[in-house]
């Protein structure tokens, strides 16, 4: 199948979102599809961004994919958007006719594709929804709830769902929400969670050697891997660590993040002894190996729609490294999987004090073994590997074809 995959995001920048998009395209190509990426960069990019975009073009070419672009105008006035969307749709229509399927990844491109579909220029159209973008913008403060811009973007999404042949979403809860919010047919909404690869687990000798280098030895390790962004609740986790350490003898904190200075500053403010923690920035290819040093991982999230529908790839990464997870309730399907498997603990903060949580963590640490690592990785394999996720894509594309 010839697929034109669309996004107006900055996919040329390394992020969890861009990694998922590019991995999805690469997997489609590996299965024999022609999958090209169309981006909508702003007309005025700085030189560094143009170089990164060209590097992305070359990377895609190495897979057998093409990078296509439509210039995005910077004018954000609400009243002008319908005209701009019409312009974009008319520019996209000739390209769309070259493909069997257009697959939009965000609200803007989905809204444009809905218009292209109404023009008869798209044979098939799928809206690939990786998250609750409106809820995320409201939570981050860049968009006011029920503002004119909010309602306009909501309209793009509503029309895209209605015009599409179906939607990919990242969790069961998200599927229920899309069907309830936009009236989508459940039979045409398919769950394709944020996915990862499952490399071989690092050898015990390697893990022990790294532990000795860091001065950890046999101390239990609480792991945090991720950014210091507010929505990831990194600061909350750093504040939680001393409270857990007060009840868990020798507990060591390992933080893997790109924002090392910020993490170190927070730990200094909290008075955490440098001998009790290590903060490190790693190339993405090395993160999974270092995560395997952890004995229990932490994934805290706010009780908000953007997290309720989510499929955090970090959860999959923890499991692939063989690490059980302390997680907040209502994080997509992840919290449910933790409760059902017992490979971690769902921490309900309003009901369970940090001291009580520490006792639960002690129980997880007491069960730490190769068998537990293998069970974590099997849970990942069944639910979050590209091998399993692409089976859904294969079935849907076969039906559409």
Task: Band the pLDDT of 45: cuts 50, 70, 90.
Answer: confident
- Residue 101's DSSP bridge partners are 3
Name the CA dihedral angle for 395, 186, 196, 338, rounded to a multiple of 10 degrees.
-130
Residues 6+ apart with CB under 8 A from 279: 255, 257, 260, 263, 264, 267
Residues 6+ apart with CB under 8 A from 267: 238, 253, 255, 277, 279
Task: Band the pLDDT of 391: cuts 50, 70, 90.
Answer: very high
Residues 6+ apart with CB under 8 A from 198: 320, 377, 380, 381, 385
Pairing assessment for the beta strands 125-128 and 101-104 based on DSSP bridges:
parallel
Residue 230: per-residue pLDDT: 78
Do residues 176 and 237 share a domain? Answer: no
Closest CA to 39 of 108, 115, 134: 108
Would you say residue 14 has pLDDT above 80?
no
Residue 8: per-residue pLDDT: 80
Do residues 34 and 69 share a domain? Answer: yes
Do residues 190 and 226 share a domain? Answer: no
User: Would you state the structure tokens that stand for residue 302, as one six-digit string?
Assistant: 């706010």
What is the full DSSP assignment across 126-140? EEE--S-HHHHHHHH
Do residues 242 and 359 share a domain? Answer: yes
What is the Rg, in whole angstroms, of the alpha carbon atoms belonging to the chain?
22
Residue 29: alpha-carbon gap to chain centroid: 21
Residue 67: per-residue pLDDT: 97
Do residues 217 and 268 share a domain? Answer: yes
Would you say residue 125 has pLDDT above 80?
yes
User: Would you state the structure tokens that stand for residue 108, as one six-digit string?
Assistant: 């803007």
Closest CA to 71 of 52, 45, 49: 45
User: Would you state the structure tokens that stand for residue 8, as one six-digit string?
Assistant: 């107006």
Angstrom distance (rounded) from CA 71 to CA 75: 12
Do residues 296 and 359 share a domain? Answer: yes
Identify the DSSP state of 385: B
- Residue 324's DSSP bridge partners are none
Orientation of helix 354-366 relative to helix 234-245, angle to 10°: 80
Tally of domains within the chain = 2
Find the helix or strand (DSSP H, E) in which 5 lies.
strand 2-7
Task: Band the pLDDT of 231: cuts 50, 70, 90.
Answer: confident
Angstrom distance (rounded) from CA 18 to CA 117: 26
Return the SS3 of 201.
coil
Residue 73: per-residue pLDDT: 84
- Length reported for the chain: 401
Phi then psi for residue 309, to 5 deg, are -95, 0
What's the CATH code of the domain at 368? 3.40.50.2000
Closest CA to 89 of 74, 104, 67: 104
User: Would you state the structure tokens that stand for residue 128, as one six-digit string?
Assistant: 């690939």
Name residue, tokens 């792991």. Answer: 223
Do residues 231 and 175 share a domain? Answer: no
Residue 229: per-residue pLDDT: 81
Residues 6+ apart with CB under 8 A from 393: 27, 28, 31, 168, 192
Report the predicted TM-score, pTM, of the whole model to 2 decimal places. 0.91
User: Would you state the structure tokens that stand for residue 312, as one six-digit string?
Assistant: 């955090």
Return the SS3 of 184.
coil
Would you say residue 328 has pLDDT above 90?
yes
Read off the pLDDT of each residue in 213-217 and give the average, rounded to a whole number: 94
User: Would you state the structure tokens that stand for residue 123, as one six-digit string?
Assistant: 């044979």
Return the SS3 of 67.
strand
Phi then psi for residue 84, to 5 deg, are -65, -40
Do residues 86 and 45 share a domain? Answer: yes
Angstrom distance (rounded) from CA 346 to CA 339: 7
Do residues 238 and 106 share a domain? Answer: no
Region of poorest pLDDT, from 4-13, 84-93, 210-219, 220-229? 4-13
Do residues 353 and 225 share a domain? Answer: yes
Would you say residue 76 has pLDDT above 80?
no
| Domain coverage including residue 178 | 2-195+385-400
Name the CA dihedral angle for 133, 138, 140, 142, rounded to a multiple of 10 degrees.
100
Return the SS3 of 42.
strand
Do residues 260 and 337 share a domain? Answer: yes
Residue 12: per-residue pLDDT: 84
Do residues 136 and 232 share a domain? Answer: no
Residues 6+ apart with CB under 8 A from 282: 256, 290
């Amino acid at each position: 199948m010839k697929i034109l995959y669309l996004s107006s995001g900055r996919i040329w920048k390394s992020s969890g979102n861009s990694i998922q998009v590019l991995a999805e395209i690469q997997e489609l190509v590996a299965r024999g599809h022609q999958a090209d990426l169309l981006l909508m960069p702003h007309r005025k990019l700085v030189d560094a961004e143009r170089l990164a975009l060209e590097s992305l073009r070359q990377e895609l070419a190495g897979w057998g994919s093409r990078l296509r672009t439509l210039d995005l105008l910077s004018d954000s006035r609400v009243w002008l958007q319908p005209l701009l969307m019409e312009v974009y749709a008319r520019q996209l229509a000739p390209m769309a006719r070259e493909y069997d399927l257009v697959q939009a990844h965000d609200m803007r491109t989905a809204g444009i594709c809905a218009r292209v579909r109404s023009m008869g220029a798209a044979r098939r159209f799928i809206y690939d929804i990786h998250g609750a973008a409106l809820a995320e913008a409201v939570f981050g403060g860049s968009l006011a709830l029920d503002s004119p811009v909010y309602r306009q973007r909501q309209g793009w999404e509503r029309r895209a769902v209605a015009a599409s042949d179906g939607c990919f979403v990242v969790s069961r809860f998200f599927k229920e929400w899309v069907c309830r919010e936009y009236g989508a047919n459940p039979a045409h909404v398919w769950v394709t969670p944020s996915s990862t690869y499952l490399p071989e687990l690092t050898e015990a000798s390697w893990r022990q050697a790294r532990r000795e280098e860091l001065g950890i030895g046999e101390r239990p390790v609480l792991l945090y891997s991720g950014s210091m962004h507010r929505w990831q609740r990194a600061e909350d986790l750093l504040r939680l660590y001393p409270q857990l350490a007060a009840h868990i003898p020798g507990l060591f904190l390992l933080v893997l993040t790109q924002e090392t200075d910020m993490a170190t500053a927070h730990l200094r403010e909290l008075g955490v002894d440098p001998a009790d923690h290590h903060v490190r920035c790693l190339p993405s290819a090395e993160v999974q190996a270092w995560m395997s040093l952890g004995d229990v991982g932490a994934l805290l999230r706010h009780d908000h729609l953007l997290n309720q529908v989510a499929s955090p790839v970090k959860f999959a990464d923890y499991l692939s490294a063989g690490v059980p997870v302390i997680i907040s309730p209502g994080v997509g399907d992840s919290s449910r999987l933790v409760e059902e498997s017992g490979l971690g603990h769902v921490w309900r903060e309003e009901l369970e004090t940090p001291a009580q949580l520490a006792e639960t963590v002690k129980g997880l640490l007491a069960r730490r073994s190769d068998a537990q690592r293998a069970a974590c990785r099997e849970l990942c394999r069944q639910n979050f590997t590209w091998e399993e996720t692409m089976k859904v894509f294969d079935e849907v594309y076969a039906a559409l074809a």
